[in-house]
Each structure stands twice: as C-alpha cells, then as structure tokens.
Amino acid sequence: MSWDLRDLYQETILDHQKHPRGKGNLPDATHSATGFNPLCGDKVTIQLRINDGKIDEIRFDGEGCAICMSSASMMTVSLQGTPVSDAEDLFQRIQKFLTANDESAAMEDIDSLGDLAALGGVRRLPVRIKCANLPWHTFNSAVHGEQNAKTE
C-alpha cells in the first residue's frame, strides 16, 4: 500500500469502520436529522437526546464509505455526554480542520481533536472531504432543528 493510502485509511478509521460505536436507533431522541450526499449516495441519520443543554445520548445510523461511517462513529464517542455548546465548538474546529485552505490554520487545533485527527487524510483528496464531513453537518442540522442536512 502506498503512503497516501495509509495516511487516509489510518488504523483508527479502519477500527471504527469495522467496529462502529454509537450505531443504532434512539427511540426517545429529542433532535434528529438525516444527511445525504447525492453525489455518492452516502446517507447518515443522527439522533440526539438533549437534556438541559447537554447531549445525554447520541446515535448514528446509515450507510456509506469507510470515511463517512468512521467519522460518524468517532463523532458519537466525542459528543456523548458533552454540553451542546462544547459540541458546537468542536463542530467549528472540525470544519476548520477539514476545509481550511491554509494548512497551518487547519492544523492549529489538531492536538485538541484526539482520534478525530485521523480524519485529516481527506485533506489531500478534496472529493472525499464531504464523506468525512457529512455526519458533522447532519449533527449540526439536528441541533438546529433542520431535518435534512447536506454537504454542498
């Protein structure tokens, strides 16, 4: 395997793809949204139970590529039990990390991202950024009460 592929499909990504965390249905969700990438057919549903400004529970479901599914899985781990304001802050940092044109700006917060830094491999492959970003945009739509998310 070439260096580029190892960079994209890091162990963390493959692990979350093979053993997804936070996958399933949340019957008592207070917020939910479904994100769809019409370009490739990736589809992610995010369900949240928010109580008193805190994400008590988060689940994802859907089908898509390894990048999209592991991004969703990692997201549930990062956001479970966090205040909504912290989650929104992380959403903003992820946006910068994945999409900032300036490499040094993108890397500014990398130390605070933990496992999520493994998603950074998509920066070299512009067509795959949406795959990593779809769960995050869907989360953002769910929090803001929009039912349909999209990445473009």
Q: Tell me if 9 contacts another protein by CB under 8 A.
A: yes
C-alpha pair distances (Å), 71 with each of 1, 12, 43, 78, 104: 22, 10, 13, 10, 22
As a residue count, the chain comes to 152
Q: How far is the CB of 5 from another protein (least distance, A)?
A: 5
Which of 8, 143 has the CB closer to another protein? Answer: 8
Encoding tokens for residue 13?
């990504």
Whether the Cβ atoms of residue 32 and residue 145 lie closer than 8 Å to each other: no
The count of residues interacting with another protein (CB under 8 A) is 23
Distance CA 129, CA 6 (A): 16
Which of 15, 56 has the CB closer to another protein? Answer: 15
Site residues (CB under 8 A) for another protein, limited to 40-69: 40-43, 63-67, 69
Binding window for another protein (CB under 8 A); candidates: 37-45, 49-57, 87-95, 106-114 = 37-45
Whether the Cβ atoms of residue 91 and residue 55 lie closer than 8 Å to each other: no
Q: Which residues bind another protein (CB under 8 A)?
A: 1-2, 4-5, 8-9, 14, 17-18, 39-43, 63-67, 69, 125, 128, 131
